[in-house]
Amino acid sequence: MLLCDYSAAAEYASTARAAYRAIGDRRAEARVEMILGAVARERAQYEASAAHLDKAAGIYVECGDELGEARAVQLRGFTAWLAGDFDRAELRLRACRRWFERLGDAEAAASALMNLGAVALYRGDTDRATSLLDAALERYAALGFPEGVGWAHNLRGLVELRTGRADRAEEHLALSLATHRKVGDRWRTASVLEALAEVHRRDDPTRAAQLLADAGRIRDEIGAPIPACERPDTEATAAALRAALGDGTPLPARALIPPV
């Protein structure tokens, strides 16, 4: 799943789930439901993702595993903001932030800050987004968690874009891109390339078009469309580039269409 081989991940996880059910290992079954939820999330199948995560949370409740339940609820909030449901996401994530601080899960607490920062970003509250994301970035760096560092730089770059600071946006996005490539996360690599295309759509539209086309090829390869919350910005970039360069520009039309 982390290497974005979603078909294999889903097959292995489904096989594991059946085996864990057969031996009655409910906690392990819940962990597999969370993997299946993550696969569906990255494929932009948000309802399916929510169903897997809700099932995982329910199993953790049955097992009396409060931390497992909290992690499942947080991933549900993550799925919600990617889908553009920011109200529901914030309700879950605020609760999870308090939950993780009480339970002492430092990595999950950092993720709660990052996810709340993403919600603030997409709601247009750039000051709050900056504060939350900087706090998350500091915690991730202290923990030595590269995936989190990459995500936080990605979102900080988007904040800078929205406040008109393209140079600073590019700095964050370049750091994010290097991190995602190092850990092999092609899903996030594609999103960062699309954000970099937005950075350069005015000063270097040819380069921006190439970045967008590269992202589209990655999305076609892994079968992961643009997340719902990112789609308006990427579509606006693509439209601006078509206007600037003409209809022959190699833009990722298929990447804009989510799977059925």
Least confident range from 13-27, 49-63, 232-246: namely 232-246
Give the C-alpha distances (Å, rounded to integers) separating 257 from 226, 235, 253: 8, 11, 7
pLDDT tens by residue, 64-115? 999 999 999 999 999 999 999 999 999 999 999 999 999 999 999 999 999 9
Query: CB–CB of 12/38 below 8 Å?
Result: no
Closest-CA residue to 161 (of 131, 122, 189, 134): 122
pLDDT tens by residue, 180-228? 999 999 999 999 999 999 999 999 999 999 999 999 999 999 999 999 9
- Enumerate the H helices of the chain as residue ranges: 6-23, 26-42, 46-63, 66-82, 86-103, 106-122, 126-143, 146-162, 166-183, 186-200, 205-222, 231-245
Residues 6+ apart with CB under 8 A from 79: 37, 41, 46, 49, 50, 53
Tokens 């469309």 sit on residue? 225
Phi, psi of 233, deg, nearest 5:
-65, -40
Provide the 8-state DSSP code for 38: H
Closest-CA residue to 60 (of 86, 90, 25, 85): 25
Average pLDDT over residues 40-44: 96
Say yes or no to pLDDT of 251 above 90. Answer: no
Tokens 């864990």 sit on residue? 20
- Using alpha carbons only, what angle is made at residue 85 by residues 154 and 49, rounded to the nearest 5 degrees? 80
